[in-house]
Each structure stands twice: as C-alpha cells, then as structure tokens.
Amino acid sequence: MTNNQDGLGTLFIGGIILVIWIIIQLWYIILPLVVIGIGIYLYFKHDEKKLKKEQERLRQERLRQERLRQERLRQERLRQEKETKRINCRNEEIRKLEEKRLRVEKRLEKFHLNKKEAELIFGKTWKKRFEKPDELLVEEIRRIGVKLTDSDSYKSKVSPIMEKVFDVIDIFIHDIWSKIGDWDDIDFENWEDDWQVVRDAWRKEKQYYQNRKEEHEKENFNNLQKYYDVLELRVGATIKEIKAQYRILMLKFHPDKNNSPGATQKCKKIIHAYNKLVEIIP
C-alpha cells in the first residue's frame, strides 16, 4: 500500500516537472495564449458589467415610468373627484333653486295671490320669504299679524286686498301650521269662529282706512305741487327738465353767487324740492 502511494507521488511530481518543462520550452506559445485568455475573460467580464448596468438603468427607468403613471392616475383621480364634487354641488344647487322656485309657485297658488299682491303683503323681498320652508314662514306670518295690530300705515297699504291678507293667515294657520306646530295663543279648534270675528271687525274699520289712504294720496299730491312750484316748473315736467331747471336756479340763488338775504333759504328749498322730485319721478 505504501509502495503504491510512493509510486503515485513520484508520478505526480514527475507530471508537474514535465508540465513545467513543456511550459518553459513552449513559453512563446503559451504566454500569448494566456494573455489572450485573460483578455477574453476581461472583455466578457466588462461586457457583463455593462449588461448589468444597462439592465439596472432599464429597471430604474421602468420604476420611474411606473411612478409617473401612478402619479398621473392619482392626479386624474383627484381631478375626476373634484369634477364630480363640482357637478354634485352644482346639481344640488340647481335642485335647491328648483325646490325654492316650486315652493314659491305653490305658495302663490295656495294663498291665491299674484306676484303684485304677494309683494304688497310681504314686501319687496316676498319671493325670498316664500322660498322658506313652512317652519320658517311662520315668522313672516307673525310679522304680518303684528303689523295688522300695530301699524296703521300697513293697514292702509293692504286695505284694498285685506280679505286676501286674512285668507293668507287663515290658510297658513289652518292648513299648515296646525299640522306642524302650535302657538300657545291660538285655539285651533275654534280658529274659524275666532277668525271670522276678526274679519267682521275689519269690515267695520275698512272705510276708515280707505279714507286715510285717500287723504294720504291727496297730501302727497299737494306736496308734489309745492316741489314743482319751488322749482318754477309745471306739474308733470320730465326728470331732464327738472335737472336743467335745478342747475339754473342753483346758479341764480347759491350763496356763492347771490348775496341777497333770502338766497340761502331759497337755495335750501330748491335742493329739498329737487331731491324729493328725483326720488318720486321715474
């Protein structure tokens, strides 16, 4: 066994010596081959690194493109959500406006009023008042009730359609408010009888308020005549004529132009009459 191992060792050493001798003898062939082999190895190694680098660049580019795509999707989603929200808000606004419009029409129909009558009873903002839901309209009805009690000028104004004013209150109390609320001072069971008493009392006062209205109109006409007289104009002069005459009189009686004793007082009357006519004349 030992002899076999020694023989193999000798053979191995001999082989190594033989290889070394061959390399020494053929160095001019082997050396270029080694150099060429190393060059080929380095070339492929470099190419492999370049390939990996390119692959990494492509991977980073794909990631960047994916991030851009995700960002575009996010922006588009936000835009769509914003647009949807805007459309929903607009639709809701349109729905509310339509709801208010229908509410106004139904109120006019329910109270048997035209627009002029509604403005006379509820004022110039009658439409906004009619747009309110029943729970809020009650305050407007209360306000009318207070005016009918405390304001003679309001009674005079609505006297031509006072029966409709009573109808509005009657319809609201009887058909609407009795179903959704209550007032401590209203006896809903005996409302019709009590309300008839109010109507009868008005009929007795009606002529009085109509006479007051006529006196008020006559007083306004007399004042209007005075204003025209101050400006030395005929009744019914146009606004253009009034302005032209005002400039003429101011140049004549203004204290800076006229030193006479009554010029200042006359100037004040001219200004007052002009302002009143400008407010009245359309």
Confidence of residue 221 (pLDDT cuts 50, 70, 90): low
Distances (CA, A) of 84 to 73, 87, 95, 98, 214: 16, 5, 16, 20, 60
> 258: helix, coil or strand?
coil
d(CA 206, CA 203): 5
Task: Give me the percent of the chain exceeding a pLDDT of 70.
Answer: 79
Six-digit token string for 98: 């339509």
Q: What is the mean pLDDT of residues 113-128?
A: 88
How crowded is the C-beta side of 170, counted as CA atoms within 13 Å?
A: 17
DSSP state at residue 132: S
Question: Residue 267: is its pLDDT beyond 70?
Answer: yes
* pLDDT per position as a tens digit, 53-87: 888 888 888 888 999 999 999 999 999 999 989 99
pLDDT number for residue 120: 87
CATH fold of 231-280, please? Answer: Helix Hairpins (1.10.287)
Six-digit token string for 206: 């009606």
pLDDT number for residue 213: 55
More confident residue, 257 or 192: 257
Domain boundaries, the chain: 112-221, 231-280
Q: What is the mean pLDDT of residues 238-260?
A: 84
Please report, as a single letter, which amino acid is at residue 109: E
Any idea which of 99-108, 137-146, 187-196 has the lowest mean pLDDT? 187-196
pLDDT number for residue 211: 59
DSSP state at residue 231: T
d(CA 127, CA 132): 9
d(CA 259, CA 198): 62
Question: Residue 142: is its pLDDT beyond 50?
Answer: yes
Long-range contacts of 134-142 (CB under 8 A, 24+ apart): 134/176, 134/177, 134/180, 135/180, 135/181, 137/107, 137/172, 137/176, 138/172, 138/177, 138/181, 141/168, 141/169, 141/172, 141/173, 141/177
* pLDDT per position as a tens digit, 25-51: 777 777 777 788 887 877 777 777 888
pLDDT number for residue 167: 84
Complete DSSP assignment for 159-181: GGGHHHHHHHHHHIIIIIIHHH-
DSSP state at residue 117: H
Query: Nearest Cα to 272, choosing from 225, 227, 236?
Result: 227
pLDDT number for residue 245: 86
Confidence of residue 236 (pLDDT cuts 50, 70, 90): confident
Could you tell me how far CA 277 lies from the centroid of its own chain? 39
Angle between helices 27-111 and 115-122 in degrees, nearest 10: 90
